[in-house]
């Protein structure tokens, strides 16, 4: 991969060696499956249901080979729990078991398993079935990220942002923590396009988006393209002081890109006007209010001379 491709999460996803999680209470069964898959995949294992749930959180495997009969927690229960957690629901599960009881098989598939393999099995068949499920998973993941990503800049798109805002709004309403929103609009961007051309405008938007993402470092933070030359950042559990610090850093960082803008009426560089709003959400209120408040501040920044932050 080239360095540019390394930064592209989609391409990264296609090149990574998939991780398989093997779950079985018998070391011998784990060993057999390990031998089959060790060359083609990263393989990790668990010897109990509880350990399997832990491993899934730690390693985020692309696929799970799951024994049915285990003491404490059986495979059906493990499957049920994984399918009811947002973080693990999309991981395909293949049951591998000694019983060839069709009722067990139906129960496994009903629980959300992708496939059901009965022992004794042939290594080539197990490999082929795993490969099929991984291909499906990769296609689904790819589609999901395409649906959620802005095609030009690679940051989250409006749809992804709207859904995340709704979720964070409800979560913060439950926990009583502040939710911050930063809205950024590129200054005199119509003039930029008119002077440098639309393709150069596109590159400018890509560079700004990249710069904003680089500043956000907490896992829950999100930068998104809100529309045309407007970006929005969502910072959960962040009070005004922190949000203002991030917004100020973003305003400086865009200026520091030093992208020439001969037609800007502020400086001769590309700049952004930034609005910040923070609230402790109430479940009954509309999250659109927060966007509205940030937008209001952003227009204040425009009217006060652009290339600045208002809150
Ligand atoms: P202001 O400082 O008041 O924000 O002025 P502005 O010129 O930035 O605002 P205006 O809303 O008049 O213009 C926004 C421009 O952004 C117009 C549009 O052509 C451009 N734009 C929107 N989306 C894209 C895009 O995807 N690529 C490019 N190159 N330009 C875009
Ligand atoms: Mg067993
Ligand atoms: Mg605008
Ligand atoms: Mg603008």
Q: What does 241-294 look like in DSSP terms, one character per residue?
A: HHHHHHHHHHHHHHHHT--B-TT-SS-SB--EEEEEEEE---TTS-THHHHHHH
Q: For residue 219, what pLDDT is reported?
A: 87
* Mean pLDDT estimate for the chain: 94
Cα(243) to centroid of ligand 3, in Å? 21
> Given a cut of 80, is residue 8 above it in pLDDT?
no
Q: Whose CA is nearest to atom 23 of ligand 1?
A: 228
**Spatial CA neighbour of 116 closest among 101, 131, 132, 96:** 96
Beta carbons of 97 and 23 less than 8 angstroms apart: no
- pLDDT tens for each residue of 55-82: 999 999 999 999 999 999 999 999 999 9
- Give the distance (Å) from ligand 2 centre to CA of residue 25: 5
Ligand 1 lined by 115 (C-beta under 6 Å): no
Smallest CA-to-CA distance from 133 within 21, 210, 227, 221 is with: 21
Which residue has the least CA distance to atom 20 on ligand 1? 190
Q: Are 224 and 156 in contact (CB under 8 A)?
A: yes
Q: Tell me which ligand sits closest to the C-alpha of residue 183.
A: 3
Q: Ligand 1 pocket, 201 CB below 6 A?
A: yes
Q: pLDDT digit string (tens) for 237-255? A: 999 999 999 999 999 999 9
Is 229 near ligand 1, meaning CB less than 6 Å away?
A: yes
Q: Lowest-pLDDT range, 84-93, 192-201, 248-257?
A: 84-93
Band of pLDDT at residue 9, cut at 50, 70 and 90 = low
> If you take atom 19 of ligand 1, which residue's CA is the nearest one?
190
The Cα 294–Cα 301 span in angstroms is: 11
- Among left, alpha and beta (phi > 0; psi -120 to 50; other), residue 305 is left
* Ligand located closest to 299 CA: 1
**pLDDT tens per residue across span 273-307:** 999 999 999 999 999 999 999 999 999 999 999 99
- C-beta 186 within 6 A of ligand 1: yes
For the beta sheet containing 63-66, the strands, ordered from the edge strand earlier in sequence to the opposite edge, are 42-46, 19-23, 63-66, 93-97, 115-118
Distance of CA 111 to the CA centre of its chain: 26
Q: How far is the CA of 145 from the centre of ligand 1 (A)?
A: 26
Q: Is the pLDDT of residue 4 over 50?
A: no
Ligand 1 center to 188 CA (angstroms)? 7
- According to DSSP, the β-strands at 230-236 and 222-227 are antiparallel
With a 6 A CB cut-off, is 185 part of the ligand 1 pocket?
yes
Q: Is the CB of 245 under 6 A from ligand 1?
A: no
What pTM does this model have? 0.79
Indicate if ligand 1 lies below 6 Å from the C-beta of 187: yes
Tokens of 214: 């680089």
């Amino acid at each position: 991969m080239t360095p540019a491709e390394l930064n592209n999460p989609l391409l990264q996803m296609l090149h990574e060696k998939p991780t398989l999680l093997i779950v079985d209470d018998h070391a011998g069964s784990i060993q057999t499956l390990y031998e089959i898959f060790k060359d083609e995949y990263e393989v990790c294992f668990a010897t109990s249901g509880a350990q399997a749930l832990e491993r899934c959180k730690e390693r985020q495997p692309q696929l799970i080979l799951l024994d049915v009969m285990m003491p404490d927690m059986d495979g059906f229960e493990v499957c049920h729990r994984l399918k009811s957690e947002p973080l693990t629901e999309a991981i395909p599960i293949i049951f591998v078991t000694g019983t060839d009881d069709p009722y067990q098989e139906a129960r496994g598939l009903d629980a959300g398993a992708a496939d059901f393999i009965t022992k004794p099995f042939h290594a080539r068949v197990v490999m082929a079935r795993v490969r099929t499920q991984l291909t499906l998973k990769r296609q689904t993941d790819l589609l999901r990220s395409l649906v959620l990503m802005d095609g030009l800049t690679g940051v989250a798109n409006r749809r992804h942002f709207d859904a995340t805002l709704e979720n964070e709004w409800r979560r913060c309403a439950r926990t009583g923590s502040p939710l911050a929103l930063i809205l950024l609009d590129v200054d005199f961007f119509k003039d930029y396009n008119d002077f440098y051309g639309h393709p150069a405008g596109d590159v400018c938007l890509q560079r700004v988006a990249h710069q904003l993402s680089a500043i956000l470092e907490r896992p829950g933070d999100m930068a998104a393209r809100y529309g045309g030359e407007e970006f929005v950042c969502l910072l959960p559990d962040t009070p005004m002081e922190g949000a203002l610090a991030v917004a100020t850093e973003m305003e400086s960082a865009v200026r520091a890109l030093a992208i020439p803008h001969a037609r800007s009426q502020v400086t001769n560089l590309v700049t952004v006007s930034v609005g910040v709003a923070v609230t402790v959400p109430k479940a009954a209120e509309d999250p659109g209010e927060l966007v509205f408040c940030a937008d209001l501040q952003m227009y204040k920044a425009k009217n006060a001379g652009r290339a600045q932050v208002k809150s």
